[in-house]
Amino acid sequence: MPEFFTAILDFFQNLDLITFFSEYAYSPGAVYSFIIIFMTLSSFGLPIPEEMTLVSAGLVAYMAMHPDKFPPPTPGAEGVNLTVLSIICFVAVLGSDMLIYFIGRTFGPRLVETEFFNKKIGKKNFERINKIFLKYSHWACGFFRFTPGVRFPGHMTCGLMGVPLWKFVAIDGTAALLSVPTQVLLVAFYGEVILEKIREFKIILAGVIGALILIWLLRKLYLKIRDKRSGEKQHS
């Protein structure tokens, strides 16, 4: 395991994140596509926080807005458009939330009994989310948007509990409209501060990312061992 962290640290020490982001500042099509893909995968449990994707989008926009500091690869190359980027981020976030909502809405109570539900949510989390619903009613749709740990199960439960689509879109969409473009715009306009921090704390960033990857791997291993033991008990 120490070799794993050493490899991660070496990788990020040798990786120039500034150059990495600047290469995409003038590839708007790739950036817009990546955002949609990563937002969708994040909704299904990909260990890349939604906020990390939004911050990365903002950094790319900042670089495209400052060609004097980050010149395009070819003169006149089209850079990422901040307005279009903000809209795509919002649509990608709301679209991925609706996708999870429709999974809960389509499969309904049958979903609670599936292995997929037990792996991704679990009955304890489901009970906790139900308590939130009892406390906040349909306003819980917005609460889940601001709570990273329960976004996936929360939005799925919104569909499962029969929250009307228009109400889910109105509440979750309003919450996303307040949070998503704001993050992108703040980073785009104050990107220099973040870039300085990236330069200063590259090793810390590597450690955090390495820890997240390790936690994800350990969780996968734990679930695999748990399922194996559960299967052995059923056959005994």
Nearest Cα to 65, choosing from 179, 191, 182, 181? 191
Whether the CB-CB separation of 151 and 134 falls below 8 Å is answered with no
- Confidence at residue 161, expressed as pLDDT on a 0 to 100 scale: 82
Please state the pTM of the whole predicted model.
0.73
Domain boundaries in the chain? 2-103+165-235
Contact 151, 144 (CB under 8 A): yes
Print burial letters for 156-193: b (CB count within 10 Å at least 16), e (below 16): bbbbbeebeeeebbebbbebbeebbbebbbebbeebee
pLDDT value of position 218: 81
CA 180/CA 58 separation, integer angstroms = 11
Q: What is the pLDDT along the chain (236 residues), one digit of tens a residue?
A: 445 445 544 544 444 567 777 888 999 999 999 999 988 888 776 667 788 889 889 989 999 998 888 888 888 788 999 999 999 999 999 999 999 899 888 887 777 777 767 766 777 777 777 777 777 777 888 888 887 667 888 888 888 888 899 999 999 999 999 989 998 998 898 877 766 665 555 556 566 666 777 777 787 787 778 777 766 666 65
Given this model, what pLDDT does residue 2 score? 46
pLDDT at 204: 62
Q: Report phi then psi at 81, rounded to 5.
A: -90, 125
